[in-house]
Structure 1
Amino acid sequence: MNIRPENTLDYPTIAEVNTLAFGGEKEAKLVHIIRASNGYIPELSLVAEIENTVIGYIMFSYIDLVCEEQLPVLSLAPMAVHPEFQKQGIGKALLKTGLQLADKRGEALIVVLGYPKLYTPFGFQPSINYQIESPFSVPEDVFMVKILSGYEEKYKGKVVYPPAFDGV
């Protein structure tokens, strides 16, 4: 398996992987919208491929954390693996690589809405532990953050997602 940044030739297959993994097109549309936004980070939009075929995808993009100032933080969404390749560690490999790359860039933190069993082994904790408020009414344990090397105490407040996320 090879993990690398996406390129434009991957876009149709990435859309297909997201559609199949999530059983609908919302996440594929989200990826398309984020790519056209200021929040897009090409080097943090990664594919997993086997024999030159894309079978997994993860995207980290900028969102805002608002308190006394507006600070850019990373959102992890979406992460998808083609159904035929799920439960083989591909998502975990994408996540591990993405976390390492984000940390090397000096990013402060990553926000994710997801399953604690998947994310807590990678160091994600409930966002409330860092005085970071979810914009959604969800259980505290599913809205999580991962602190990275660029973190400072000023990173507190409420997460604000751009309009691209409204349809997901």
Structure 2
Amino acid sequence: MTDDDHSPDDSPLPSLSSPHDRDPGHPPAGIRWATRPETAADIAAVHAVNAAAFPTEAEADLVDALREDPSAWLPGLAYVAEAPDGSLAACALLTRCLVAGEPAVALAPVATAPAYQRRGAGQAVVRALLDAARLRGESLVLVLGHPEYYPKFGFVPASRYGIRPGFEVPDEAMMALVLDGSAAVARGTIEYPAAFGV
């Protein structure tokens, strides 16, 4: 997982983690991040943002592989944030995963171009993506990420819901967000898309 300053090299599955900007929660005065669903015209730029945000191109390649998997890819749940000049500042993706056979979505990867880190672009794209998922009727989002960053969106340790990954990670790093409190939350093991390799 990359967290600008914090890059836990001991993360067992960097492809499941999410790099993002650790901003104070507010973009600088005068900057508004326009967010929108990814389009076909954005694919190369999304690859470039992911490649620049991580030490290797593994996450960029992961996004490409997920895009080709119809059981994982959810049209309309890949979002970008645009910089004032129209270039892509950040991107985030939700794909289908399962918890004990019940549908959920996995947030990964989240990436911010180095030039725009710590300026709110990552936070803006995650918030827009979560709103889109809520409007589509998704009820549960899972993320393996930095426990100091994702709680600002409402994420809590997934273990509180009896949800766990099928691999060892620190409990506080595997998080869940319930988008629809009226729906029952499945308990059990997370099954990720094949592209994640777990």
Q: In the alignment, what sits opposite 2:129? A: 98
Moved over 2 A (4+): 150-154
- Select 1:89's aligned residue among 116, 120, 139: 120
User: Per the alignment, do residues 162 and 30 of structure 1 end up closer, same or farther by CA in structure 2, a change over 3 Å counting?
Assistant: same
Q: Say whether residues 1:2 and 2:2 are aligned partners.
A: no
Q: Quick check: 2:155–2:176 contact (8 Å CA) kept in 1? A: yes
Q: In the alignment, what sits opposite 1:35? A: 67
User: Per the alignment, do residues 130 and 56 of structure 1 end up closer, same or farther by CA in structure 2, a change over 3 Å counting?
Assistant: same
Alignment of 1:1-168 (within 5 A): 1-37=33-69, 38-50=71-83, 51-66=85-100, 70-149=101-180, 152-166=183-197
Whole-angstrom distance in 1 between the partners of 2:46 and 2:170: 30
Identity %: 35
What residue identity is the alignment partner of 1:121? K
Q: Which runs of 5+ in 2 are unaligned?
A: 1-32
Whole-angstrom distance in 2 between the partners of 1:105 and 1:166: 27
Q: Secondary structure at the match of 1:92?
A: helix
Give the TM-score taking structure 1 as reference length.
Answer: 0.93
User: Offset at 1:90?
Assistant: 0.8
Q: Which runs of 5+ in 1 are unaligned?
A: none
The structure carrying a bigger helix percent of its residues is 1
Q: CA RMSD in A?
A: 1.4
